[in-house]
């Protein structure tokens, strides 16, 4: 895994991972393997979309809204997601639609086959993880609590910008591919299906005022 995925996975270890395994009805070891494969897929797809300026700006706006909308640590957010809370911060299904666009089903299928979860449980896992990824990126970008150190947007003393976000996520996406393994293989299989590797940009542009931005 890469720096961001490693850090996020570390924050999910322990009680959160146990809760996820129970929700999916699988063992802790299988859950850990599935999460470690799904996180690079999610963050890599976001990185690919954010490689376009419009995509980066849309995602940046969504993270701002998620961040300023409040929310506790990832454990608290996970409890809300698993408890069925309805809010912009817990709408994993809507987030996946924006992240993957028309390739969501393919992403779930590949993840399910690679991890042994099957498509349905792989879809459940990604719906759980998508809010975690967004909350984590918002905290890292804007310096919220439990962000794992200094905000990535503040590197070098600058303010967080869509350009910085796009550059960092783009680097993550490249690292996922270069490192290969399960996460890199899944990312390549999903993103390159249509030949241009650009998934859901049109949907991503709706994020600022759409599902990730909040249900009014």
Does 215 map to a domain? no
pLDDT tens-digit map of 157-204 = 457 899 999 999 998 888 888 877 777 778 877 776 544 444 344 433
Q: Judge whether 216 lies within some domain.
A: no
Q: What is the pLDDT of residues 98-148, one digit of tens each?
A: 898 888 998 999 999 999 999 999 999 999 999 999 999 988 888 754 444
pLDDT the model gives residue 72: 57
214, part of any domain: no
Residue 6, CA distances (Å) to 1, 13, 111 in order? 6, 11, 18
CA angle 177, 199, 45 (to 5 degrees): 40
Within-domain flag for 182: yes
Cβ burial, residue 140 (10 Å; 0-12/13-18/19+): buried
Domains of the chain: total: 1
CA 57 to chain centre: 16
**Residue 29, number of CB atoms within 10 A of its CB:** 9
CA end-to-end span of the chain: 36
For 45, how many CA atoms within 13 A lie in the half-sphere containing its CB? 36
pLDDT tens, position by position, 43-59: 999 998 898 889 999 99
Domain that holds residue 109: 3-209
Mark out the alpha helices in the chain (DSSP H runs): 3-12, 15-24, 28-49, 53-68, 74-82, 92-100, 104-115, 119-142, 162-179, 181-191, 201-204
- Is the pTM value of this prediction over 0.85? no
Residue 33 located in a structural domain: yes
Position 84 in a domain: yes
- Residue 154 maps to a domain: yes
pLDDT of residue 152: 55
What burial class does residue 195 get, using C-beta atoms within 10 Å of its C-beta: 0-12 exposed, 13-18 middle, 19+ buried? exposed
Q: Which residues fall within 8 angstroms of residue 89, CB to CB, at 6 or more apart?
A: 66, 69, 71, 77, 80, 131, 134, 135
Residue 130 lies in a domain: yes
**CA proximity to 99, closest of 64, 58, 67:** 58
């Amino acid at each position: 895994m890469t720096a961001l995925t490693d850090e996020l996975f570390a924050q999910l270890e322990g009680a959160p991972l146990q809760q996820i395994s129970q929700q999916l009805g699988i063992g802790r070891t299988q859950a850990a393997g599935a999460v470690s494969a799904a996180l690079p897929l999610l963050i890599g797809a976001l990185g690919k979309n954010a490689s376009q300026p419009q995509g980066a700006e849309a995602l940046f706006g969504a993270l701002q809204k998620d961040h300023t909308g409040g929310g506790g640590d990832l454990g608290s957010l996970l409890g809300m997601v698993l408890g069925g809370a309805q809010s912009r911060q817990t709408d994993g299904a809507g987030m996946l639609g924006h992240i993957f666009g028309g390739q969501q089903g393919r992403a779930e299928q590949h993840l399910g086959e690679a991890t042994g979860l099957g498509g349905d449980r792989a879809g459940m896992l990604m719906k759980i993880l998508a809010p975690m990824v967004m909350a984590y990126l918002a905290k890292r970008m804007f310096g919220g609590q439990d962000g794992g150190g200094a905000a990535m947007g503040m590197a070098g003393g600058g303010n967080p910008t869509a350009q910085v976000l796009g550059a960092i996520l783009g680097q993550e996406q490249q690292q996922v591919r270069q490192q290969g393994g399960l996460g890199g293989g899944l990312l390549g299989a999903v993103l390159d299906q249509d030949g241009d590797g650009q998934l859901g940009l049109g949907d991503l542009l709706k994020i600022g005022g759409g599902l990730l931005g909040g249900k009014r």
